[in-house]
Amino acid sequence: MKKTILQAFILLSMAAGIYLLISRVDWMKLFRIEKMTDALEQKLGDMVWAGMEEQSIEEGKEYQRVDSLVTAICKSNGFERKKIKLHIMGDSEVNAFALPDRHMVVHTGLINAVHNNDELSGVLAHEIAHMELSHVMKKLLKQMGYTLLISITTGEAGGGAIKELLGMLSSTAYDRKLEKDADIKAIEYLKKTGISPNGFADFLYRLGEKDGSLGSLSWISTHPDSKERAKYIREKAGR
Amino acid sequence: MSMAPTFAYHPDEAEAEKASNSYLMSLIAIMVGFPLPIINLMATLFFYIANRKSTYFVRWHCIQALLSQLSLFVINTIGFWWTVSVFFREDEHVSNPYLAYVITVFVVNVFELALTIVAAIKTRKGQHVSWWFYGPLTQMMCKP
């Protein structure tokens, strides 16, 4: 009996040993998975943005306001500001979203809906967190699959697929865990920038109340349980 | 991993064939059920149930095949569900630990496949095959 237990132990140790040995190899690098995903992301980002470019406002007061807030968050958190491609869209919908290859789209509707820069910084930090945590590509790969994404970049999937992809990123939420991860990261970024996350929580709370003066609330309809989010952001902000 | 000790008696032709089939069952199941690890286990389990009142040699090898499939089932099931979550959960993605696990599962399955083929051939010839760990464990569970 003792011998069999010892043999079981040795067998398990051998299996664990094989796994540890194999995991020493950088398979992601060997199979060029990250490189392939990066190249795909860049291509997708360019293609999606090409379809929206005309509606973009790349200068003016609103652009400068958002740009200065994004720059402040990037500077305080060690991110390269140049890598984020900021775009302001003239749209009354309260919305902001991240596209592949670090394109960040902010609607003028959102800029008009916030009461102060702290609130706006909260939303921007949340979108930056989605970019930093690679949520955009994770979501696309999950919902569309590698093959379809590649066929979009080669043009095989047709123009409709790009619209579908844009619709998915601008009007549907990430899953609950990813949203929470982005919120928690956003709190961290805001704190490092010297901005109180309470502004972000206030904005979420107001959206949760579905304040009629805010107009069309895309951002909140894609980010469920905003009151609950406001609650945990306030809790974490206090720490 | 395998030893060739002598068995309590020399099995006849029909017994050797049945014992060999217990291993072949898991081989066929590997091909049919690769993405669904439970199929391998079910196949060997059904074969054991069908032969549980058979001769000592047949029962012994059915149990050894079943036990080896049981541990393979655990390893493959983890790999299966990990793969499912990589495909369907947004917070799970292809990572180095995942790829290392899939490769480990592949290595273990190939190793087990080779052992199973050898065991199927040897038992078909009427030779006794007792695997390391699984042999003594089978010995404890299967009495003449």
Tell me what ipTM this predicted complex has: 0.79
Q: What percent of chain B has pLDDT over 70?
A: 92
CA atoms within 13 A on the CB side of A203: 27
Chain B residues whose CB is inside 8 A of the A185 CB are none
pLDDT over 90 (residue A139): no
Mean pLDDT, to the nearest integer, of A163-190?
Answer: 84
Q: Measured between CA atoms, how close is B89 to chain A, in angstroms?
A: 7
Provide the percentage of residues in chain A whose pLDDT is more than 70.
91
Q: Do A142 and B90 touch (CB under 8 A)?
A: yes
Inter-residue contact A202 to A119 (CB < 8 Å): yes
Interface test with A, best of B96, B107, B115 (most A CBs within 10 A): B96
| Contact status of B89 with chain A (Cβ, < 8 Å) | yes
CA separation for the pair A89, B83 (Å, rounded): 39
Q: Which of residues A35 and A75 earns the better pLDDT score?
A: A75
pLDDT of B5 strictly over 90? no
Within an 8 Å CB–CB cutoff, is residue A175 touching chain B?
yes
- 3-state DSSP call for residue A129? helix
pLDDT beyond 80 at A212: no
What are the tokens at A22? Answer: 């194999």
Per-domain residue ranges for chain A?
1-27, 32-237
Which of the pair, A170 or A39, is modelled with greater confidence?
A: A39
pLDDT at A30 over 60: yes
Q: Residue B104 and residue A18: Cβ atoms within 8 Å?
A: yes
Q: Is the pLDDT of residue B1 over 60?
A: no
Q: How far is A31 from chain B (nearest CA, A)?
A: 10
pLDDT, mean of residues A25-42? 85
Give the mean pLDDT of A61-86.
95
Looking at the complex, report in whole angstroms how far the Cα of residue A117 sits from the nearest Cα belonging to chain B: 30
Q: Do B108 and A178 touch (CB under 8 A)?
A: no
Judged by DSSP in three states, A103 sits in strand
**B68 or B41, greater pLDDT:** B68
pLDDT on residue A211: 53
Put simply, the answer to whether A7 touches B133 (Cβ < 8 Å) is yes
**Mean pLDDT, all residues of chain A:** 85
**A237 in B contact zone (CB under 8 Å):** no
Q: Taking CB atoms and an 8 Å cutoff, what residues of chain A touch B96?
A: 23, 26-28
Residues B113-130 pLDDT 10s: 899 999 999 999 999 999
Set of chain B residues whose Cβ sits within 8 Å of the Cβ of A181: 91
φ/ψ of A14, rounded to 5, equals -65, -45
Percent of chain B with pLDDT over 90: 44
State how far the Cα of A92 lies from the Cα of A210, in Å rounded to an integer.
Answer: 16
Cross-chain Cβ contact B91/A138 below 8 Å: yes
DSSP bridge partners of A89: A56, A107
Higher pLDDT, A62 or A223: A62
Is pLDDT of A162 > 90?
Answer: no
Res. B111: pLDDT tops 70 = yes
- The sign of the dihedral angle between the CA atoms of A31, A35, A38, A42 is negative
